[in-house]
Structure formats: structure tokens, C-alpha cells
Amino acid sequence: MTASNDSARQFPQGIAAEHLRLSRTRTMLTVIGVVALALLLLIGLSGFLGGSTVASKAVETADIRLTTSFPAKLRNGEIFEMRISITPKRDIDNLRLAFDMASWRDVTINSLVPAPTEERGSHGRYLFDYGPVAKGESFAVKIDGQINPPRWGNSRAIFVVYDGDSMLAAEPFKMTVMP
């Protein structure tokens, strides 16, 4: 007997020679599966579905310089970080940050550092008071949050900086949440 004769080979119980032969269909399905997995990995690495780099924006008015950084594209369940830096060009008696309530719909805010001296909701906005900030003193706020599962799609909101009730700057931002 020759070694190439499949019928002469001894296979374990339940395994036959036809199990070792790959059909043309099985070979094509394997290739398609590998290509599909590679494409999925490339799309994920591209940032197209979220997790892309964080963009920084700067706004300068007569009263302050405002810099914000926030990921514009997120995914459900993703934890994100928003940074706000304010440098006043004059003394501010009561720095107040305001966020549209709609911007934090289905978002869990895990931390707000430093903590505001007062926080409340009023006229469709969340308001956070921080007290006085001296001219030229840089004030930074870090917000950590997480996108809740019901949230998806595009939303636009406005982030506003006040001195008491007097508006100093407004920064519109757009957030896209991918499912």
C-alpha cells in the first residue's frame, strides 16, 4: 500500500478522508470571511465609526480667550473627555459655564473638575458657577462623561461662558453618536 491511498489511511473514529478535502465553496467562504474581517478592522482603525482624534477650537472675544476640546464623533457606551480653558482679559466676578440640556441628554457625566460652587438647571441649560477669576489667570475645567445606549445620531448645542448674567462667549458644538 502507498501512503497516498486515503482508503488505506487510519483516521480517528468519526473522521473520514472527505473531511480533509476543502470544497471550492468552503475555500471561497474562508477568503470572503478573512477579507470582511480585514475591512471591518480597517474601518474601525480609520476613526470613521468613532474614536477619532479630538479637535480643539479657540474663540477670542474682547473679554476672554476660550479653548475647547471635545471628540465630535463618539459611539454608544464610549467614555469621553471634554476640556475647557478660559483665560480672562479682565477680572471676572462670577465665572458661569452653561450647557444646553439637550447636549447632555442620555449622557452620564462622571466628573466635573474642579467642582462648581453652585450648579442648577434653568431655561433649558445647566449652569455651573465657579466664582471670581482674575485677569490673565487661566481657568481649566475637565468633564468626563459616557454616552448612554439610547443616544445616537447628530446633535448640535451651544456652550456659553458668562460673567454672572453677562455673556462673554458662546461656542457651538456638534456631537455625532454612532450606534
22 three-state secondary structure: coil
Residue 81 dihedral angles phi and psi, to the nearest 5°: -130, 135
C-alpha closest to that of 49 among 176, 148, 138: 176
Is the pLDDT higher at 170 or at 9? 170
Is position 1 within any domain?
no
Q: What pLDDT does 94 receive? A: 95
CA distance 84 to 159: 10
Q: What pLDDT does 1 receive? A: 44
- The count of domains in the chain is 2
- Whether residues 105 and 39 share a domain: the answer is no
- Whether residues 151 and 125 share a domain: the answer is yes
CA 89 to chain centre: 31
- Whether residues 41 and 65 share a domain: the answer is no
- Whether residues 79 and 139 share a domain: the answer is yes
Please state the rounded mean pLDDT for residues 27-35.
Answer: 83
Here the CATH number for the domain that contains residue 136 is 2.60.40.3670
Number of residues written out for the chain: 179
